[in-house]
Amino acid sequence: MKKYRLKDGKIMIVREGNGKDADRVLQYIKRVACESDNLTFGEGEFNTTLEEEVRFIEECRKSKNSLFLIAEYRGEIISCLTFSGGNRSRIKHYGEFGITVLKKYWGLGVGKTLINCLIKWAKDSGIIRKINLKVKADNTKAIALYTKLGFVKEGAISRFFYHKGEFHDVYVMGLEID
Ligand SMILES: CC(C)(COP(=O)(O)OP(=O)(O)OC[C@H]1O[C@@H](n2cnc3c(N)ncnc32)[C@H](O)[C@@H]1OP(=O)(O)O)[C@@H](O)C(=O)NCCC(=O)NCCS
């Protein structure tokens, strides 16, 4: 567990999740689902059960090449980051992550801090050599953040999203860990 000062002076806690967090994580995900169109799910579309979520978080905790990070402010979950490493020997050094921040905490440095924690964890892991992500091509704020942290655009996938009658492309961005 580590403490970080946000741009407005609030002190947030960043720690690895465990199975006991699953219920609160699901409540948190239901909230962020309603706050942007940038995720693969919207309101009411994240249907993971409590048992599945407990299993997922615990698997991340036990795995050497996966990570489930939680940021809290005064006991409230304000951000989650999940990184899933490959499950076969040829791809165990590779993984993808996703991140969300509760809307009222946007712009305070939460996202940047969690991704920096991920990069540090990856460097210390001795396993991870590549971090990738997919980001909606119009999510300029997230792209600016990833670019600032060293991620580069490696390609694009057309029609990745289908939402409100329209297709949306994503960029694939990556960071090599050496
Ligand atoms: C994208 C998201 C994770 C960013 O998290 P955040 O905590 O708001 O980001 P931060 O406060 O750490 O800001 C990071 C940087 O982006 C920059 N930034 C912020 N708003 C920006 C904007 N509108 N345009 C360009 N850059 C912007 C800031 O300059 C900041 O860098 P700095 O601290 O060096 O000044 C968060 O807004 C979010 O959860 N959005 C909805 C879900 C989502 O899009 N997830 C990503 C899916 S790929």
**pLDDT of the chain, 178 residues: tens digit per residue:** 999 999 999 999 999 999 999 999 999 999 999 999 999 999 999 999 999 999 999 999 999 999 999 999 999 999 999 999 999 999 999 999 999 999 999 999 999 999 999 999 999 999 999 999 999 999 999 999 999 999 999 999 999 999 999 999 999 999 999 9
> Does domain 2-131 correspond to CATH entry 3.40.50.720?
no
What is the rounded distance in angstroms from the CA atom of residue 176 to the CA atom of residue 178? 6
Mutation test of ligand 1: which of 41, 103, 145 has the most ligand atoms closer than 8 Å to its C-beta? 145
Nearest CA to ligand 1 atom 32: 109
Q: Tell me the two tokens of residue 53.
A: 């979520």
Contact call for residues 113 and 4 (beta carbons, < 8 A): yes
Ordered by start, the domain boundaries in the chain are 2-131
Contact call for residues 119 and 176 (beta carbons, < 8 A): no
Q: How far from the centroid of its chain's Cα atoms is residue 98's Cα?
A: 3
